[in-house]
Each structure stands twice: as C-alpha cells, then as structure tokens.
Amino acid sequence: MKRALIFSLACFALHALHAQTLPSIGQWRDHLPMRSIVNLDNSSSKLIAATSFGYFTYDPVSKFYDVHTKSRGLSEVNLKHLAKDPVSEKMLIVYENANIDLVEGDQIRNIPDVLLSKIQGDKTIHHILWAGTEALLSSNLGIIAVNTQRKEIRDTYRPGNNGADIKIYQLALLNNVLYAASSEGLKKAFFQASTLGDFRSWTLEPIPGITGAVDNILLWNDRLVARKGDSIFVKSNGAWSLLYVSSQPITAINASGNGLYIGQSLQGKGTVVYLSDPGVQVQLIATPSMSFPLACSKINQELWVGDKNNGLIKISTTGDEQFLPNAPYGIATGGGTYAQSTVWAAAGTIGADGKGKLNKTGFFGFKDDKWQNFNSRSMPALDSMPDINVLAFDPSKQSVLAGSFSGGMIEISKEGKPLVYKQGSFISPAMTDPRSFRVAGLAYDLDLNLWISNHGASQDLVVRKKDGSTKKFTIPFPHVGNAVATITVDDQNRKWIISPQGNGLFCFDDGGTIDQTNDDQWRYFRQGRGNGNLPSSNVLSVESDRNGFVWVGTDRGVAIIQCVDDLFNNTLCDATLPVVQQDNFAGLLLAEEMVNDIKVDGANRKWVASKNGVWLLSADGQKTIHRFTVSNSSLLSNEVFSIVIHQLTGEVFFFTANGICSYRGTATAAATEKKKPFVFPNPVPSGFTGTIAIRDLPENAWVRITELDGRLVHQSRSLGGQAIWNGRNYKGERVNSGVYLVYAADENNQQQVAAKIFFIR
C-alpha cells in the first residue's frame, strides 16, 4: 500500500536525527543540509560531525545529538574545518573565508584576525592541529598560531625557502618535532616557539619516491604517514617506505584507534581501505551509502564515515546505517509556495542567460517542523527533470506540481504516484530545442484552473482547466525568446506573467470564459510612461496585495500598479514609483536594488528579497519596519532568491545563496472561521522576556488584555490574525503573576473573552 504524499517518501534508509521546534516571535532558525561532512572528531564521548553548513554532535550510547548553525551562534555558514582539543573542551572552527570561532562549552568567541588582516595573498586554511593551549593552522600563508587563552593570533611561521610564503597543507607533531606537509615537500623543525619563526630552523625531510609537494602528514600509532597523490608512505624505525598505492582517487586519509583509513571514490562510488599495521593485508570496506568519504572514526567495533554527499554513516558487522539531521537536501535557489500548512521550496533555477543549470537537487516540503525531500533518490522519475524552479499545489486533488526547465512538469499525487508531462502532452518543446520542455511558471486561478508558463514554446501560455482539458494562448506582444516565467493570479482572477530577459510584464484577463477569446484583454507593462512606467523592463517578481494593488519588483527597484480598475487603458493606468523618506532624504523605493521576490504577510506588509538582504515594509511601502542583513541578523546570505510565509504561524522563510533560514514574524493570516484563539507561550514561564502571541483572531481585531477585575493592562490591534504582547502594562512595568483575560473585538465591534493568559513572574 502506498503511503501518503506529504512527508511519506523516504530518500533512503536513514535516522532523522533532528526536528526543530517553532521559534519564538522575533527569533531565527536555520534549515541547512547536513549531508556534506568535512570532518569527524571522536576525542570525547560524543561524535562531532562538521558539515559545510555547521556541525552536529551525536552520542552513540545515549542517542543524544545537537545541531549548531549560524542561528545558534556560529559566526559564518561555510564551515571548512573543525578540531577539538583532546585535552580540554575547547573546539576551533575555521570557515572558508578564514574567519575563526573558538567554542568553549556554550560560549562562542569569534577570532576574525585572519579574515580582517590586510595581508595580501590567499588566506585559505587547510588543517587544524592542537598543540597544548595553541591551535596551529595550516594555510596558504604558512603556519598560523592561535593563542586560545588570549583568543588571538600569536604568530605566523613561514618555513618556505628563504622565508617566502609557502602553502602548508597539514601538520603533525611527534617527539617534539613539528612536521609540515607543504608545497615544497615535507618540512620539519623542533617545536620551539622562539625558533619556528626563523625559516632557517626548518629542514627538508626527504621521502624516497616523493618529489615536490606532499599532500598529507599525520600520526598513526607513533609513526609518520605521508601522502602524495595516490601513494601513501610510512616511516618506521627511522626509514620511509611505500605503504599503499591506490587505483582510485584518494579522498581522505585518517588514523583512528589503531587503524589507518583511506577514503577513495570513483564514478560516484566510495570505498574505505583499512590497514591495521604496516605489512598487514588490506581490508576493503564498501557500502552503497558511501560516495565520497572524507573522514573516518572508529568507536568500539563500529566505523563511522563522514561522506561528502550522504552524511554520517555507521558501518558494523550487521550492515550500515545512515544518520542525517532532518533538513532539506540542498540549497533552494528557485521559487516556493505555501499551501495546506506546508512550505514548498524548489532547488533549481534559471540563469540570467535564460538557460538551466542542470541542477538535480529536486524540491523540498516543510510541514510539522519536518522536511521531506523529493529527488531522484526518492523518485526515479525526477532523474530526467533537472532545474525544478517552480511549484504549485492542487487543493482539490491534494497533489503537488513541479516545473522543470527542460524536463516538463511532474505531478505527484497524495498517494505518492508521479505523472510526468512533456513529450506528447500539453507541454510543448522550446522552438530552439525540440528536446527541451521548459516550465517556468505554475499558478492556480480562483476557479482551480492551472496556468503554465511554457518558456520558449510557440504558444507559451497554457491552461489545464479544472475538467482536465487544455488550451494554449499566443501572447499578443513580441517578447525575446518567447520567454515567460512566474505567474501570479490576483483577487480578480487576472494573470500576471513575468517575461524575463528584459521583456517586461504581461497582464491577461480571460473574462471568465477561457474558451471564448473575444472577451480576452491583455496589457503590457514595461519601462517608460505610457508603457506601464516600470523602473525597468527587467521584471523579477510580482505580487498582489490585500488591497488588490500589484507590486512589481525589477532590477531597479519597486513599482506599484494601483489603477486596478483601469488596467487595460494604456493612457490612464501606469505604475507609480513610490517615494520613501529615509533619514533627511527622500528617494524611490529600493531604487537600484534587484528585487528578487515580494511577499505579503497577514497584515498586508511587504517582505522584499534582494541581493542586499531583506526588507519588511509597511502596508503602504512608506516605512521600513525591518532591514535584515548578514551583519545585523541571522540571515545566511545577503543574496535572497525567494520568500515564503507560513500564514498560520507567521514564520517567514528566506531561500538564500547559503541555504534556507526563517524568522518568526509578528503577523499571521486572519482566522477564516470563528475559533478559540491560541496563546503561546501559555502559561508564560518565570523569566520569559520574549513576545507573547495571541493567534487565530479575526482580521485586524482590537485586543484588550485586562486583570480579572477588568483593569486594563494592554491594548493593541492584531497584525492580520495575530496580536502580540511583551508582558508589560501600559506603564512599561512587567505584570505580576496571575491570570489575565484577553478580549477581542471583530469588525462589527462584538467583544468577547477570547482567552486567558497564565503569567508567572
């Protein structure tokens, strides 16, 4: 029996380690893929898995784990290396941009010295070695010594010939001698701070069979092990000898327990070679779960492998198990939508050149604090559908639809059955490539007809009517490449169609009679007065607000189409370019910004995504309520592709260049039917300083909070369907412990006791 679509399909056997809980109002959380593991550390009872987006800890005995990302205090997103001090509880994290974090228990201290240094050259850091209270970093600038007590960079050693910059790839310390695998070979010097800075203290350690650079150096049972390319050498009894030659590209080499583990990968299949001692027969470990092993750790009789693509894998005599925190499979660079309490995110995108990127990551859905991934691993039909860039949800059939920019459209029923539409269907090939079926826009209208942007086709607007029949339209305006993309349906059932590549924006009204074309009306909006008055013809986003106004985002700011009753009169209806007061200056709204997306929340406020962060604007666009960037918030990247708002909870999801993150906003959609409001947290715990929310209210309701005797404590108006309270009275004083009544008045001014709040001071 097939299981239900929503959050039922499993990509492969794995342990879902983590399901995040809904954050408080004003708080952030990340939704980052943890499947690309770069380091493993088992120096304590917990296994620490460092990934490209953060790290998580896992205790194999208690099964306890914890996930750490930027929203939980890390300074950056793109983590490159992590190493724990085997003596203390300190841990050092290095990021791709050379920024450094020092973790001590719950405290995270940033050490940005290398990042902010004005030193010229490549600052890439390759490895971390703990040596007493210091951490030695192998970098393209040499060896960087970090004093973890003073939390600063103490010195930089350059063991290159004549003191020149030298690339250091890895360090090892044995018998008070520091060894450095470098671009000039294996260098060594006595481990003495006073002399390491003198390049003359360093000498070359010759290894028979190696000339030039040495890629790795590490300790294995008090022996030195060096790697160059596919060859591994060991130093025993004072002499170097060839230990192992791989027939496959080596991905990593680790010593753990008494074993040496060599990761290999060929054509997407990973293996691990295990050596227990020099001269002992090699054991080959292979499992379908491995594709590109980057780290290995031995705990008891179990081997833990960190894989670049498949997360944390435990290999034992009984088989292998996969451990992944619940998260989207990858980064979402496409569009998204919200339906049926689910946030949907597309991973693919269309380049500025109008071409796909052959992205096969698929798409993701988020419901009940859990992510479900849809890709070729879970559904083979998706293997031929790269660049899924747009999603829609059919409320009548409870199916999800995904548009591919070469593979057509796929519809997945609520039972999980896929149905692909491309060759031989109502999706037509591009005129310039008969093998490419490009779907770049999907939207249901108010009558549940599905409208499709068939990019590049001769008839590039298609509708699949509710009865299953289809009709195609020829847009009556010339547009380069017949390029069409996002479709938005407004509250009068008109279709707004973005035409990328600088073509502009089309508005189409079928008059409520799809099959009769004599009442069809079209309007073309682009730059210039009388032509629509957009700030640019390069339209990137469009959204209809709760007043019926249409907000248009371009690569040069925002325009608002307010003349919704005269849309098809070119002489009367042009977009307005709103002017916003900023400090002592006035200017066009987000002028010169690339406005990638606009979404409207329950209070009719506008969330705007750009290449320079996120704005929350007032309903009329004349006031900036919030401006989020990577420097003032937990936003993962200033480049934000799309926004999706969970209308029930008010959580706003941002699809950024560094992954998905979300912020719990203050507005929700109003209750569509009479229900008892929901208060959270309730009871309010002692010491709570956050925001208390009253949800499921009528739209823009007046809310009064009183003591039991009727004395007024707080009064406000809901934002959409949610009111907020900071736990203080009108004097700004924190209220006493007790029970407080919430009165809500709807638009008819009918007031009733809506809820009770139990407050513990």
Segment 357-386 mean pLDDT: 94
Strands 319-324 and 15-16: parallel
Q: 8 falls in which pLDDT band (50, 70, 90)? A: very low
Residue 3 has pLDDT above 60, yes or no: no
pLDDT above 90 coverage of the chain, percent: 76
Listed range (7-16, 607-616, 677-686) with the worst mean pLDDT: 7-16
Q: For residue range 395-428, what is the model confidence (pLDDT) as tens digits?
A: 999 999 999 999 999 999 999 999 999 999 999 9
Nearest-angstrom CA–CA distance, 169 and 139: 7
What is residue 449's three-state secondary structure?
Answer: coil
Q: Is the peptide bond before 683 cis (omega within 30 degrees of 0)?
A: yes
Neighbours of 355 (CB within 10 A): 13
Which region among 223-232, 536-545, 684-693 has the lowest average model confidence (pLDDT)? 684-693
Q: What are the tens digits of pLDDT across the range 484-501?
A: 999 999 999 999 999 999
* Spatial contact of 645 and 662, defined as CB atoms under 8 Å apart: no
Fold of the 678-759 domain: Immunoglobulin-like (2.60.40)
Residue 586's pLDDT is what?
Answer: 66
**Cα–Cα dist 78/74, whole Å:** 10
pLDDT digit string, tens, across residues 146-174 = 999 999 999 999 999 888 889 999 999 99
Per-residue pLDDT at 119 exceeds 60: yes
pLDDT number for residue 12: 32
pLDDT band at 753 (very low <50, low <70, confident <90, very high): low
Which residues are registered as beta bridge partners of 168? 182
Would the pLDDT of 480 be above 80? Answer: yes
Would the pLDDT of 28 be above 50? Answer: yes
Give the Cα separation of 110 and 151 in Å (integer). 8
Q: Between β-strands 100-104 and 90-95, what pairing exists: parallel, antiparallel or unpaired? A: antiparallel
pLDDT, tens only, 619-643: 999 889 999 999 999 999 999 999 9
Give the 3-state secondary structure of residue 73.
coil
* Cβ proximity of 722 and 650 under 8 Å: yes
List the one residue out of 294, 256, 257, 239 whose CA is nearest residue 272: 294
Q: pTM score, two decimals?
A: 0.91
Query: What confidence tens digit (pLDDT) does each residue in 570-608 have?
Result: 778 999 998 876 666 667 789 889 999 999 999 999 999
Residue 10 has pLDDT above 60, yes or no: no
pLDDT of residue 438: 97
> What's the one-letter identity of residue 296?
C
Q: So what's the pLDDT on residue 751?
A: 62
Strand order across the 90-95 sheet: 79-84, 90-95, 100-104, 107-111
Domain ranges of the chain: 1-33+330-417, 101-324, 422-525, 535-669, 678-759
Give me the pLDDT at residue 42, please: 81
Q: What is the DSSP letter of 721?
A: T
Average pLDDT, the chain: 91
pLDDT digit string, tens, across residues 697-715? 888 888 999 999 889 999 9
Q: Above 50 in pLDDT, residue 240?
A: yes
Q: 87 falls in which pLDDT band (50, 70, 90)?
A: confident
Residue 436 has pLDDT above 70, yes or no: yes
- Please give the helix or strand (H or E) that residue 146 lies within, else none: strand 142-147
CATH classification number, 101-324, choose in 2.60.120.260, 2.40.100.10, 2.130.10.10, 1.10.3720.10: 2.130.10.10
Q: Give CA–CA dist 509/514, Å, rounded.
A: 9
pLDDT mean over 132-138: 94
More confident residue, 89 or 466: 466
Protein fold of 535-669: Methylamine Dehydrogenase; Chain H (2.130.10)
When pLDDT is averaged across residues 529-558 and rounded to a whole number, the result is: 96
Residue 5: per-residue pLDDT? 43
What's the pLDDT at 63?
79
Determine the pLDDT at residue 351.
82
pLDDT band at 750 (very low <50, low <70, confident <90, very high): low
pLDDT of 457 higher than 90: yes
Q: Above 70 in pLDDT, residue 1?
A: no
Is the pLDDT at 279 greater than 80? The verdict is no
Q: What is the pLDDT of residue 585?
A: 63
- Asked whether the domain spanning 678-759 has the same topology as the one spanning 101-324, the reply is no
494-510 per-residue burial string, b: 16 or more CB within 10 A, e: under 16: bbbbbbbbbbbbbbbbb
So what's the pLDDT on residue 587? 75
Confidence of residue 443 (pLDDT cuts 50, 70, 90): very high
Domain 422-525 grouped into CATH 2.120.10.30: yes
For residue 444, is pLDDT > 80?
yes
Kindly tell me if the per-residue pLDDT of 65 is higher than 90.
Answer: no
Question: For residue range 310-364, what is the model confidence (pLDDT) as tens digits?
Answer: 999 999 888 889 988 899 999 999 999 999 999 999 999 888 788 889 999 999 9
Mean pLDDT of all residues in 351-379: 92
